[in-house]
Structure 1
């Protein structure tokens, strides 16, 4: 089932519009796909318990993107650093017929922006599942981007 990103953006609690604006994207479909690539990569690094905890705190429309296209029997990846996060997001994007990330820089910007917005809304960086040094690298990147 395809997500209606226009409807999600209409009923948004601020996150999707904030991410779109920060990334300079005007298309709800593309923004939703980019958010999905980042969140699905993050999801692939979490245990089911960690995902369940995160889902409880995500804004509703972001929650829908997070759980979409979830295959429960996938290999868990390890996100040790921001570089590995970028690499895995690129791999995730490459696995789709319609790629939405044109470069590593676009992927890096998307990761930092999405985590920054989620941190503003739900303090995602306070959760234990983002391990050191990834957590510190994200904080530093967000500080530099501000």
Structure 2
């Protein structure tokens, strides 16, 4: 069953809509899939207790995206730097028939904008599950992407 991103976008406090507008994306489906690629990559780097902590902070409709397609037996990613995160999000996207990221530079920008907007809703950088170097790089890059 596929997620109805149009319905989620009307109920998620404008998170998907903000990402769509900021990245000049023409549909909720693509913006929602982008949020999913980023959240799923982050999820794959977390322990189950860290995921539970993040899930508690997510708006209800983003929780649906976060838990979708979750395979409980996965290898835990080690995200030490921003380039690792971008590489893993691109790999995640390439595993899907409908890709939403095209090229490393545009993927980096899309990921940063997505995280910047998610940070408004969740304060994702306040969590201690990101490696210090990655957190610092993200904070700097998200400021520059503004």
C-alpha distance in 2 between matches for 1:8 and 1:118: 15
C-alpha distance in 1 between matches for 2:106 and 2:63: 23
Contact 2:9 2:16 in 1 (8 A): yes
Q: Residues 51-78 of structure 1, C-alpha deviation per residue, up to 9 Å, x if partnerless?
A: 0000000011111111111000111111
Q: Which runs of 4+ in 1 moved over 4 A?
A: none
Q: Residues 26-45 of structure 1, C-alpha deviation per residue, up to 9 Å, x if partnerless?
A: 21111111111111001000
Match of 2:119 in 1: 119
C-alpha displacement of 1:95: 0.7
C-alpha displacement of 1:106: 2.1
More divergent stretch after superposition (40-49 vs 106-115): 106-115
Alignment of 1:1-146 (within 5 A): 1-146=1-146
C-alpha displacement of 1:108: 0.9
Contact 1:5 1:29 in 2 (8 A): yes
C-alpha distance in 2 between matches for 1:90 and 1:49: 25
TM-score by length of 2: 0.96
C-alpha displacement of 1:117: 1.1
Return 5+ residue gaps in structure 1 as ranges.
none
Contact 2:45 2:76 in 1 (8 A): yes
Question: Over aligned residues, Cα RMSD in angstroms?
Answer: 0.9
C-alpha distance in 1 between matches for 2:26 and 2:58: 23
